[in-house]
Amino acid sequence: MFKKVLIANRGEIALRILRACKELGIPTVAVHSTADESAMHVRLADESVCIGPPASKDSYLNIHEILAACEITGADAIHPGYGFLSENAKFADILKEHDITFIGPSADHIRVMGDKIEAKNTAKRLGIPVVPGSDGAITEDTEAKRVAAEIGYPVIIKAASGGGGRGMKVALNEASISEALHTARSEAGAAFGDDAVYIEKYLSTPRHIEVQVMGDGKGGGIHLGERDCSLQRRHQKVLEEATSPALDEAGRQKIGDICAKAIQGLGYSGAGTIEFLWENGEFYFIEMNTRLQVEHPITEMITRIDLVTEQLRVASGAGMSVKQEDVIITGHAIECRINAEHPKTFVPSPGTISYYHPPGGLGVRVDSGVYQGYKIPPYYDSLIGKLIVHARTREECLARLRRALDEFVVDGIETTLPLFRDLVTNPDIIAGTYDIHWLEKYLASKAD
């Protein structure tokens, strides 16, 4: 196992990683910006190093400072968490050159999945069902029209370097494809410095269902079931649940087996997520994330497997502690992302938490680095915590979530807690009959 792990992140995920390290008896190093001196992950780590001013580019994204912190403290591994440097292939390369273990997949796997065209071709080759569309980048109108005619309208044009919804354009018919192609290319070029785009059949009302996978880097790989992340606003997930209300056991096993085999075929190492759109009972691959995700706790709750511990084991060469037959899914879990934002306008609400009372009791988990008196800095993502509940059935899980939301008090700032209190009594949420557009429509209907 590692001698010392440096956590190159902040907030609740830094704390989450720290907890796994502590349970494994691994000393930890927290790095932080000057804005995060009083953060909980800094207080709880064995050592901490200030790596720069508040702006992320000067601190949490500053590879030189993070490397220096490793040298000073003697850390032999870095966990990147999510966001920041977690899917930066160059960072993984640099760590390798310095004999520091990147707790994540190989730089090559990060690179392949970072290019959505390569990712899709790789997925297809590995037997994963993909959205019908172009095999490669599209530059010419004639080519775009030929592909679109073949797959049928509407089509969507996406940036190869995109993800997270940026640089997408829908074309409803041949008359609008030329403009969609050119707009998508110029937006992609401006946003990512890469104007490569590709075309897919546009799915009008899918669900977003993703499969958690884990590889041992030696041809072993498993799946840990799916998460339904259809409830999103502006490509930000708001509430996630596992299992998906749309899937039955046979459907789960079928897509899970496909994903596990793909991970084995790739020789993938560590945790990953294979993202799908799901419509009319069919799965269509869109992207693969090569990191631990924000919503990983709901998978942990239904499998009782510590995903960060498994990441640490795999990266250190100890191998996974579980085989596929040890992954037994029980019950249902839901996560609410608590953001320091106004619940209706979603305007960020940094400031001091004057009173804090998190919920507790059976099946309730709160992953958060905040505490009473903590001042949320204005420089970073507004996620301040996650409320995760687990119960034997989805119905019991929703009842437990309502109860936990009633107990949760965060005063002094605005949070998204009131939004969740509304959502958990909504008939569509209770029935589980929502798609990727449901939340935006719901918010629009409540606005007037």
Active-site positions? 291
- Residue 235 in the binding site for ligand MV4 (CB under 6 A): yes
Shortest distance (Å) from residue 441 CB to ligand MV4: 11
Binding segment for ligand MV4 (CB under 6 A), chosen from 142-150, 194-202, 255-263, 359-367, is 194-202
Closer residue to ligand MV4 in complex, CB, 182/201: 201
Selected from 21, 39, 213, 286, the binder of ligand MV4 by CB under 6 A is: 286
Binding segment for ligand MV4 (CB under 6 A), chosen from 158-166, 183-191, 297-305, 343-351, is 158-166
Distance CA 381, CA 375 (A): 14
Distance CA 290, CA 207 (A): 21
Selected from 49, 156, 157, 391, the binder of ligand MV4 by CB under 6 A is: 156
Selected from 181, 255, 436, 442, the binder of ligand MV4 by CB under 6 A is: 436
Assigned token pair, 162 = 């995109």
Selected from 114, 163, 217, 270, the binder of ligand MV4 by CB under 6 A is: 163
Closer residue to ligand MV4 in complex, CB, 277/389: 277
The interface mask with ligand MV4, positions 386-425, x = CB under 6 A, is ----------------------------------------
Selected from 106, 232, 243, 299, the binder of ligand MV4 by CB under 6 A is: 232
The interface mask with ligand MV4, positions 319-358, x = CB under 6 A, is ----------------------------------------
Closer residue to ligand MV4 in complex, CB, 155/413: 155
- Residue 138 in the binding site for ligand MV4 (CB under 6 A): no
Binding segment for ligand MV4 (CB under 6 A), chosen from 62-70, 141-149, 160-168, 353-361, is 160-168
Closer residue to ligand MV4 in complex, CB, 30/203: 203
Q: What is the largest CA-CA distance in the chain?
A: 62
Residue among 410, 214, 441 at smallest CA distance from 312: 214
Shortest distance (Å) from residue 365 CB to ligand MV4: 25
Closer residue to ligand MV4 in complex, CB, 59/289: 289
Shortest distance (Å) from residue 440 CB to ligand MV4: 8
Selected from 36, 228, 241, 287, the binder of ligand MV4 by CB under 6 A is: 287
- Residue 240 in the binding site for ligand MV4 (CB under 6 A): no
Assigned token pair, 306 = 């510590």
Distance CA 446, CA 12 (A): 30
What does the radius of gyration of the chain's CA atoms come to, in whole angstroms? 22
Q: Which of residues 199-228 bind ligand MV4 (CB under 6 A)?
A: 200-203, 208
Task: Give the count of alpha carbons within 13 A of 116, CB side only.
Answer: 30
The CA-CA-CA angle for residues 417, 337, 258, to 5°, reads: 145
Q: Which of residues 245-264 bind ligand MV4 (CB under 6 A)?
A: none
The count of residues interacting with ligand MV4 (CB under 6 A) is 16
Shortest distance (Å) from residue 429 CB to ligand MV4: 16
Closer residue to ligand MV4 in complex, CB, 185/207: 207
- Amino acid in position 222: I
Shortest distance (Å) from residue 230 CB to ligand MV4: 6
Binding segment for ligand MV4 (CB under 6 A), chosen from 13-21, 157-165, 298-306, 327-335, is 157-165
Binding segment for ligand MV4 (CB under 6 A), chosen from 76-84, 101-109, 161-169, 311-319, is 161-169
Chain residues that interact with ligand MV4, rule: CB under 6 A: 131, 156, 163-165, 200-203, 208, 232, 235, 277, 286-287, 436
